[in-house]
Amino acid sequence: MLLINQIKLKPYYTYDDLKKKVSAHLKVFETEIKRLQILRISVDARRKPDIYWVLSVCCEVENESSVLRRLSDDKAVRYEPVEYHPVVRGTLKLKNRPIVVGAGPAGLFCAYYLAKAGFEPIILERGYDIDSRIRDVEEFWSTGNLSPNSNIQFGEGGAGAFSDGKLNTLINDKSGRSREVLKLFVECGADEDILTDSKPHIGTDVLVKVIKNLHEKIREFGGEFKFNAEVTDITVNDGILSGVTINGLIKQPADICILAIGHSARNTFEMLYDKGVKIEAKDFAVGLRVEHEQKLINDAMYGPDPDIQKVFPVASYKLTYKASSGRGVYSFCMCPGGYVVNASSEPGRTCVNGMSYKKRDGKHANSAIIVTVGKEDYGSDHPLAGMYFQRKLEEAAYAQGNGAIPVQFYNDFKTEVTTGLEFITDNEPDNILKICPECKGDYSYSHVSEILPQEINEALIEGMEYFGKIIPGFNDDTVILSGVESRTSSPVKMLRDDAFESESVKGLYPCGEGAGYAGGIMSAAMDGMKVFEAVIGRYCGIQTD
């Protein structure tokens, strides 16, 4: 099989056009091509109005070796698909069923492969099943009544269940894990286009179905789910895990426990720190959500022709800048045609995230514009200082919005940051009526400029002004800001050794985004697979006597 990269095709290309391009590139007759398969497809819109699809294609042709020999370039190479193969099983047996704490991507994928291998894992999720969770989230958005253990951060599917379902990853994966994750998502109901799209996404509405189907697969293989089951303590004897405590009452014996707790399990971080689990504060980023009309982004990326825009995916962007202070400023979790959502999980604290449905047909695009922060910002060397820093920002956001999402126009934000408070009064609502935020949950026009520290605000403004040179209108006066985007990644890292075990507690396996080893659905799922491989590489099953 041969792989050909960088095949450019016009917007309305057909299969015959693709076959013709491949035959011309390989210098073979079309009849010599036995099979074509698109591996990856992306959009090249750098030279508008000429916009192209760019494809990577694998194909079978007659006499492949002779075809390769007569080609003078390296765009065609021999191709062998990478198949995922778990490691060889170990020889030890567990006394107890493995515990997986958390039913986000890391926990679900680890549990799926453990169950498939016959280990019958018990999945403990502090939140509720996906259907109950949806009801709780929608009630919170409509009434403001927050369920602390069933919200956008906690519950089956993890925080990613109420996002865009983006499946991007920067990991150079030679093990086949990445492809395996995508294939399992498709088996569970995601569209097959995620296997070829260079920017795959599932969409929140479809992701719900995928989570349900993955749950059923795990259960059919012998896995057991327990919801409303928060791990409130762990039992450690001589540095070795022997059990976990659920909801402060139920003692569950355990030889191994996979900690896939997510980036918002703050009381669990505190409990683990108190039990002597080695944790370090790590750098992350904070900022604000920014909303634009989706048409502005489409025009900037594809040009103003509506017919061309209909051919290509709803436009997205990825922007980076280095501020004069040295801080990185960049877009994060960009949601085309999406919504800003109240993603809070603690009473008296407000944080936001972005969410899109599969069709991405909302009026607005939104993304987080975030600024890097580190230990110098936390005001302490404590391992949980980053978490406390997050809480401080979220308390400020809650106060500004009085529990609703605080929003502000960019011009007012910029004016307040650079010249002091010159705020629109309640008697001057004209601007507010011109552009309404696309939010899930109540919003309130507020002093968003008072949520973040001054230096972060200044870096954010520098970034916005620079991004306005790349995307005209990005820094317009009536662009909407909302806050606070504080849960970009975990504020901690739980130290683990080469065997993926905690450095301080044997049998404890920190895993996924909450442990500091992932940054999104794909990388979290893949880390769950790595931890599964570490477990299966040591153990062969469970004692049955």
Question: pLDDT tens across 395-428, in order?
Answer: 999 999 999 999 999 999 999 998 754 444 444 4
Q: Cβ atoms within 10 A of the Cβ of 358, count?
A: 16
Which residue, of 78, 100, 116, is where some domain finishes?
78
86 located within any domain: no
Taking CA atoms, 190 is separated from 82, 83, 171, in Å, by 21, 20, 21
Structure tokens at 15: 């299969």
- Tell me: the pLDDT tens digits for 489-499? 999 999 999 99
The reply to whether 297 and 415 lie within a common domain is yes
Q: Which tokens sit at 498?
A: 């080469």
DSSP code, position 17? H
Transcribe 145-214 into DSSP letters.
Answer: ---TTSSSSSSTT-GGGGS--B--------SSHHHHHHHHHHHTT--GGGGTBSS-B--HHHHHHHHHHH
Residue 347 lies in a domain: yes
Same domain? For 451 and 332 the reply is yes
pLDDT score at 325? 96
pLDDT > 70? residue 326: yes
- pLDDT at residue number 268: 97
Chain-wide mean pLDDT for the chain? 93
Contact 406, 397 (CB under 8 A): yes
Provide the domain count of the chain: 3
Q: Is 440 left (phi over 0), alpha (psi -120 to 50) or beta?
A: beta
Predicted pLDDT at 75 = 73
Residue type, 505: V
* Domain-embedded: residue 460: yes
Are 74 and 161 part of one and the same domain? no
Tokens 């069709």, located at residue: 359
Q: Do residues 127 and 50 both lie within one domain?
A: no
Going by their DSSP bridges, the two strands 257-259 and 99-101 should be labelled as: parallel
CB atoms within 10 A of CB 373: 27
Q: Are residues 102 and 226 in the same domain?
A: yes
Quick check: bond before 49 cis, omega within 30?
A: yes
For residues 462 and 370, state if they share a domain.
yes
- Boundary residue ending a domain (48, 78, 108): 78
Last residue of one domain, picked from the residues 50, 78, 106: 78
Q: What is the pLDDT of residue 421?
A: 46
Residues 393, 449, single domain; the answer is yes
Reported as a pLDDT band with limits 50, 70 and 90, residue 429 is: very low
Does residue 475 sit in the same domain as residue 496? no
Q: What is the pLDDT of residues 262-321, one digit of tens each?
A: 999 999 999 999 999 999 999 999 999 999 999 999 999 999 999 999 999 999 999 999
Whether 508 and 418 map to the same domain: the answer is no
Q: Which two tokens stand for residue 9?
A: 């095709």
For residue 11, the enclosing domain spans 2-78
Element at 220 (helix H, strand E): helix 204-220
What is the distance between the alpha carbons of residues 312 and 78, in angstroms, rounded to a whole number? Answer: 30
Q: Are 353 and 485 in contact (CB under 8 A)?
A: yes
Q: 25 and 129, same structural domain?
A: no
Please answer whether residues 366 and 339 qualify as being in contact, where contact means their C-beta atoms are separated by less than 8 angstroms: yes
Let me know if residue 87 belongs to a domain: no
Determine whether 249 is exposed, middle or buried from the number of CB atoms within 10 Å of its CB (0-12, 13-18, 19+): exposed
Q: Please, which pLDDT band fits residue 48 given cuts at 50, 70 and 90?
A: confident
Whether 388 and 522 share a structural domain: no
Q: Among 164-173, 186-195, 257-266, 480-489, which stretch is predicted with the lowest mean pLDDT?
A: 164-173
Token reading at 442: 């109540």
Which CATH number does the domain housing residue 36 bear? 3.30.70.2700
> Left (φ > 0), alpha (ψ -120 to 50) or beta: where does 27 sit?
left
pLDDT the model gives residue 77: 87
E-state strands within 328-386: 328-335, 339-342, 352-355, 364-373
- CATH number of the domain bearing residue 133: 3.50.50.60
pLDDT in tens, 501-543: 999 999 999 999 999 999 899 999 999 999 999 999 999 999 8
Q: Tell me, what's the pLDDT at 544?
A: 80
Q: Are 290 and 480 in contact (CB under 8 A)?
A: yes
Residue 246 included in any domain: yes
Decide if 238 is inside a domain.
Answer: yes
Residue 84 included in any domain: no
- Using pLDDT thresholds of 50, 70 and 90, give the confidence band for residue 82: confident
User: In this predicted structure, what is the pLDDT of residue 332?
Assistant: 95
Q: Do 463 and 514 sit in the same domain of this protein?
A: no
Inside any domain, residue 310: yes
Stretch 175-194: mean pLDDT, rounded? Answer: 94
| 252-264 average pLDDT score | 96
Q: Specify the higher pLDDT residue, 422 or 477.
A: 477
